[in-house]
Each structure stands twice: as structure tokens, then as C-alpha cells.
Amino acid sequence: MNQKSVIYFVSALFVALIFTSCSKDVPTLSKTAVTPGAQSLYVLNQGTMNQNNSTLTMYNLADSAATTDWFTTQNGVGLGDTGNDMAIYGGKIYIVMNVSSYVEVTDFKGKALKQIPLFNGTVARQPREIAFYKNKVYVCSFDSSVVRIDTTTLAVDGITKAGSNPDGICVANDKLYVSNSGGLNYPNYANTVSVIDIPTFTQTKTITVVTNPFTLKAGDDGKVYLLSRGNYGSIAGALQQIDPTTDAVTATYPGSAAVDFALDGTKLYYCNFDYSTMTSSVKVMDLTTNTATDFITDGTAIPLASGIAVDAATGNVYVASSASDYVSNGTVYCFDSTGKKLFSFAAGVNPWKMVFIR
């Protein structure tokens, strides 16, 4: 990082303290809360399947130091196989481990607090994504289940059923939205989102969406945003908007095939890797006008975009990229809100989800 970008970055951090924003994890309709500046950034690296090489990379924003396998540094053991989601709630970090089939709970230093195994008898549930609501944790798994975990006991206290191979979950309008990917039913992917009533913890309806849906996020506008992968053939992946008051799809954004997206106020950032051209792209869409433009303005090329996150305090955008061979260590790039690269650092194998420690 050169001196200019350090100055720029530090001032951006400072400015961020003044600006107001709202975090992904506690959605509110108005931007009144002040998001404190992040001290560090955690990156969950998926690893490669069956290699037990999923890692948690810690990037210290104060001294620009990255520790690739921070979890092992802190705990003496590894995370296990295929980390798929990570989120912060109630002063703890929750890490969803897909093939190892458990949820790891750590403190902000990455020290393990509890491992919550997710098995149906002897069959791994294969958890995928996580959401939170009123001191409960909700985890959707490939085995169609949504489990409820109490945040004080950190034990499973309820299980319900969604559709085929759930691959995304969020809370909006006091309801759970779970995407049913059917991802293990190639080529017969599913195309629904289950709506689950939280008090009764049962599915009340399904919404038809673009084929093979996965990540779901609730926006600051109260809407649900959904990303689908398509069928890797005739049906392209797309971003969609669902209105949780009517549970109807209210927008399907054209040309929005993506591998991940992130929300920041009225901005929706999404990144993609196009296999036909072998190029990555990062776009930003203004949700007030629904127009998308290229985000990166300084010509920085991302090898293989895999994940994206926005620091609500600074508006800085972090883009995770796999190595071009998918099996060696990837990189995380940080851009300012105008799309100019500030810095980058080495993460683990197939970096993907990112959270900010404030």
C-alpha cells in the first residue's frame, strides 16, 4: 500500500465515522444509527472440498496485516471442510461449515466458543447459510431443514422443513425467507423461496423465482434481494427483489448474473465471473433507478471474483477473488466507493464471505 492510499484510506475511515449507515445484520428502514469504523475484517475461505482446508483470514485494518489461517492461530485446530457462510450477531461470529456439518461460534477475536454439530442421526445436514432474529439463530441446510438455535444456550431448539437443498436464508418483515436451490438435483434445480412464519416456525407459502436460487439478503429498504444461479445453461442467473409485505417478486434485474452481492443503502453491488469470457466484473446498481454501472474505475482486473462486501462505515467495497486455478490462495481487493483500488491482501483458498469487526 503506498502512502497516498494509506492517507486516503485513513481519511475514508474517519469520514465514515461521521457518515451514517446501517449494517447488513440489523436492517432498519432509516439511516439513523452511526456505524463505527471497523478494526478488522474476517474473510471466510471455503477451501476446496474434502481437503479440510477452509480457513478464516483476519485482516487488521490498523496495521494492514493479514493472517491467512487466523482460526488455527487462535484455536490450535482448523475450521474443517467448506466454510459456506459467516455472520455477526450479539457480539459473536457464527461460521457455517458445510461439509464438516456444524456451526462454529467464536468471539470477536476468533476464539472458539462452541461447536454446534448439525446432523440428522448420522446423516450430515450440510448447513449452508445463517440468519438471526430476536436472539435466535436460523440455519438452512442442504437436507431441507431449517434449524433454530438459541443464542444463550447455543443449542438447537427447533427444526422445520423448507424445500429442496436450501441455500440461502434471511429475515424480513418478521418472516424467514429460505431459498430452495435443488442444487444437488442437477439438472432439475428448484426455483422457489419458502416463506416461514417465525412464531409457529412452519412454512406458510412458496414464491416462484429464477431457477437455482441461493443467497438472500434483506435491504435497508425492507425488501428482500435474491440471487439465483440459473441452470448453467439455457437459464441465466439473475438478481431479484421480493416485497415481503406481499411476498411477490417485484423486480428481476436484467443482465444481473452474479456470484455474490452486497447491499449498502440504495446501492446494490454485485460481482460475477463469466466462464465464456473468463473475465470478472463488479457492478453497482442504484436501487432508486435500477440502473447498473461498472464499479471499478481504475482498470483493476479481478482474476476470479467470488464474493463481495461493503464496509457500511466507509462505503469501501471488498471483492474476494479465487486464485485463477481455484486451488491456491486467493486475494481480497479493497476499493473506495468510487471504484478505485485502495489495497489488496492475500486470503486463503477460495475466499468468499466477509464480516467487519467494529
Partner 1 sequence: MLFFTPFFGVVSAAFRHGKGATLLTLLFFLLLSKPIMAQRDTVHVIPEVTVTAMPLPHLSNTTVPLQTFNAANLAAMNVLQLSDVVKQFAGVTVKDYGGIGGLKTVSIRGLGPTHTAVSYDGQLMGDAQNGEIDLSKLSLDHVKEISLANGDNEDPLESARAFASAGLLSVVTMRPHLDSLQRYRAEATMQTGSFGWIHPSWWMANRWSRHLSTTLYLESQYANGQYPFTIHNGDSIQHLQRTNSDVHLFHGEANVFYIPDSLHQLTAKVYASGGARGLPGAVIFYNPYSAQGQRLYDNDYFLQARFTSVLSKKSQYAVSAKAEDAITRYVDPYFLNSSGGLDNQYRQQEYDLSGSFAQRFNQQWQLSLASDVVVNHLSANLYQFAQPSRVSSYSSVKGRYANSWFHAEAALLSTFVADRVALGNDSPRHSRLSPMVSVSADPFQQLHWQWRAFYKETFRMPTFNELYYTGIGNTRLKPETAQQWNVGTSYWTSGSVGYLSFSIDGYYNRVINKIVAVPSGNLFIWSMLNLGLVSIHGVDMSLRGETRVANGIHVTMEGSYTYQSALDKSNPQNSTYNQQIAYTPENSGAATAGLLMPWMNMSYTLLFSGYRYDLSHSLLPGYSDSSMALWRKFSWHHTSLTVKGEFLNLWNEQYAIVKNYPMPGRSWRVSVGIVF
- 27: which DSSP letter? -
**Cα 196–Cα 180–Cα 156 angle in degrees, nearest 5:** 55
Taking the complex as a whole, the smallest distance from the CB of residue 343 to partner 1 amounts, in Å, to 18
Is 51 near partner 1 (CB under 8 A)?
yes
Is 106 near partner 1 (CB under 8 A)?
no
Q: What's the start-to-end Cα distance of the chain, in Å?
A: 22
Is 325 near partner 1 (CB under 8 A)?
yes
Nearer to partner 1 among residue 76 and residue 199 (C-beta): 76
Is 35 near partner 1 (CB under 8 A)?
no
85, 129, 143, 311: which one contacts partner 1 (CB under 8 A)?
143
Taking the complex as a whole, the smallest distance from the CB of residue 352 to partner 1 amounts, in Å, to 10
Question: How many residues interact with partner 1 (rule CB under 8 A)?
Answer: 54
Cell of 252: 428481476
- C-alpha span between 356 and 358 (Å, rounded): 6
Contact stretch for partner 1 (CB under 8 A) within 6-14, 33-41, 111-119, 285-293 = 111-119
Nearer to partner 1 among residue 222 and residue 303 (C-beta): 303
Taking the complex as a whole, the smallest distance from the CB of residue 302 to partner 1 amounts, in Å, to 12
Is 272 near partner 1 (CB under 8 A)?
no
76, 91, 199, 299: which one contacts partner 1 (CB under 8 A)?
76
6, 11, 135, 186: which one contacts partner 1 (CB under 8 A)?
186
For residue 126, give the nearest of 146, 157, 147, 100 by alpha carbon: 100
Cell of 123: 446423516
Is 188 near partner 1 (CB under 8 A)?
yes
Q: What's the one-letter identity of residue 337? A: S
Is 139 near partner 1 (CB under 8 A)?
no
For residue 351, give the nearest of 286, 259, 284, 265 by alpha carbon: 259
How crowded is residue 251: how many other Cβ atoms within 10 Å of its Cβ? 15
157, 290, 297, 326: which one contacts partner 1 (CB under 8 A)?
326
Contact stretch for partner 1 (CB under 8 A) within 10-18, 28-36, 77-85, 195-203 = 77-85
* DSSP E strands, 198-244: 202-208, 213-218, 224-228, 238-243
C-beta separation of 224 from 209 below 8 A: no
183, 219, 339, 351: which one contacts partner 1 (CB under 8 A)?
183
58, 81, 216, 307: which one contacts partner 1 (CB under 8 A)?
81
C-beta separation of 250 from 242 below 8 A: yes
Is 80 near partner 1 (CB under 8 A)?
yes
Nearer to partner 1 among residue 199 and residue 299 (C-beta): 299
DSSP 270-329: EEEEETTTTEEEEEEEETTTTEEEE---S-PPPSSEEEEEE-TTT--EEEEE--TTSSSE
Check whether the bond before 127 is cis (ω within 30° of 0). no
Nearer to partner 1 among residue 51 and residue 246 (C-beta): 51
Identify residues 209-268 at the interface with partner 1 (CB under 8 A).
Answer: 229, 232, 259
The cell 464438516 sits on which residue?
100
Please count the CA atoms within 13 angstroms of the CA of 253 that sit on its side-chain side: 27
Binding site for partner 1 (CB under 8 A): 46-53, 72, 75-78, 80-82, 97, 99-102, 115, 117, 119, 122-124, 126, 142-144, 164-165, 182-188, 229, 232, 259, 275, 303, 323-329, 349-350
